[in-house]
A = this chain, B = another copy of it.
Amino acid sequence: MTQQRRIIFDVIRNSMRHMTAEQIYLEAKQILPSIAMGTVYRNLGLMSDAGEILRIEMAGQPDHFDKTVSPHHHCLCPHCGEVSDAPIPDLTEHLQQILGSPVESYDLTLRILCDDCRAKTMQ
């Protein structure tokens, strides 16, 4: 466990948000200015593979990283790109019933305005 890995992990742990590699890099850089983007990506990959963090892949978005590792769904704000957790239960059973065949897994992303953007729209 190097200084760099610890910092990257802490940035994710301490954030309320689901950050991209770039956002994590920028925050980590504030703490350790010499840190390199490659190091961030390498550690994000290693930590995802080890199950210490969750990599969120979405169509058309850069990957985001989540400190909550148990599988769950996400929302994407169509206005600002913010990613957040979706309070939706697992739908595997439901989908398998509709299909009548087994589903290995599935990706579900809801497009919902985030609170900030909804507030701004209301104005």
Contact = CB atoms under 8 A, between A and B. Distances in A.
Q: How many copies does the complex hold?
A: 2
B78 A104 contact: yes
Interface string A65-87: 00000000000001000000011
Interface stretch (A5-13, A25-33, A105-113): A105-113
Interface residues of A, number: 25
A48 to B, nearest CB: 13
Interface string A23-61: 000000000000000000000000000000000011110
B98 A89 contact: yes
A111 B101 CA distance: 11
Contacts of A99: 86-88, 110, 112
A99 B87 CA distance: 7
Interface of A: 57-60, 78, 86-89, 95, 98-99, 101-113
7 contacts: A59-B107, A86-B99, A88-B98, A89-B98, A99-B112, A104-B113, A108-B108
